Structures are given as structure tokens and as C-alpha cells.
A = this chain, B = another copy of it.
Amino acid sequence: MDMATTTPARERTRREIEQQAMALFGSRGYDASSLQDIATAAGCSKATVLYHFNGKPAVLAAVLEPSRIALNELVAAAEEMPAAAAQEFALTRFIDLAVEFRGLINVLQDLLGTLDQYPEFAQLISAGLRLTEILAGGTDDQLEIDLAKFAINGLLGECRHPGERSDAELHTLCDTALRRILRLNP
């Protein structure tokens, strides 16, 4: 039994499929990217994709996994802080995440209406809702909570169209916009 190294071929192919699927989902969206597209981009057959992943949603889950973990860690860390500190922390860290994973935001926007059909992503939705409450600063004012949602919507929409803007520019833009909406000092 070999336990020092994982099987090389399996991992190599899996990662290649994941990376190409991430690129395709990001540029065309989930529904518009067929298994055949992913297989061709990864240099294998469609059957191979389904050999490594148990259906198309499993490919999506694998692609979304790193961002899911990062968002959960962010929310978990913020929930152990006082409200004001959590608000500031969530704002800066969430913008970092949105910029880092901006290619995947197309996917999320695509599936926001149908995400509830995939129970494996329920946790991602609840983390997003929790984030809005933290960003609203723990207030009871429903308008402020809605404004936080508004801000997140604007941020997601802004991160969808890639290319023209650098990471730094996008970061500055989102930071300014969120602070204006939430009335936070820079």
C-alpha cells in the first residue's frame, strides 16, 4: 500500500478538468458550458469527465469548493468579533474574496435562481445571508440590512465583467462603494 503519494494520473486529470471547468463556467456560465466543452478543453472525453465526477453538479461543486471554504472561514471568524469590528473585518476581507474569485461570480449569478435545487450549496447561501447581517453592523434596521444586500449585489455585478479592470482598481472601487452605502469611514 502506497500512502506517501496519491495516484498521479487520477489527480492530474481531475485537476485539469477542474481548472478548465472553472475557466469555462466563469466565461460562459454554468448552463452554457456543456460537459463536452469541458472535456475538449481538458483534452479528454466527456465520458472521462463523468468518470472522475459524479454528474455535472459535482463538477460545479468541485469548482466552487475553495471559495465556499474561504467564505465560511470569513463568516466564522467575523462571528466571534464585536459587531463594529466584525463589520470592518467582513468588508475588507469579503472584497478580497470577491476580487480573488471574481471569475466564479458569473456562476453564482447564473445559479442564484436555481441554487436551491442543489442541496450541496445550501451552506453557501446561508453564509451569504449571514454576511449581509454582519455587513449591516448588527443593526435591527431592516433598511440598513437591505442596503447591505444592495451593496453585495452591486459588488457581485461589478466583478462579473472581467478584463478591463485590474485587481487593484476593482478593489478600490468596491471598497469606496461599500463604504458609501454603509456609511463607514475609509
A interface list, Cβ under 8 A from B: 28-29, 31-32, 106, 109, 112-114, 143, 146-147, 149-151, 153-158, 160, 172-174, 176-177, 180-181, 183
Contact = CB atoms under 8 A, between A and B. Distances in A.
A105 B83 CA distance: 34
21 contacts: A29-B113, A31-B31, A32-B114, A106-B113, A109-B109, A112-B160, A143-B173, A146-B173, A147-B177, A150-B154, A150-B155, A150-B174, A151-B177, A153-B154, A153-B156, A153-B157, A154-B154, A154-B155, A157-B157, A180-B183, A181-B181
A177 B149 CA distance: 10
Contacts of A158: 146, 149-150, 153
A99 to B, nearest CB: 14
Nearest to A174: B150
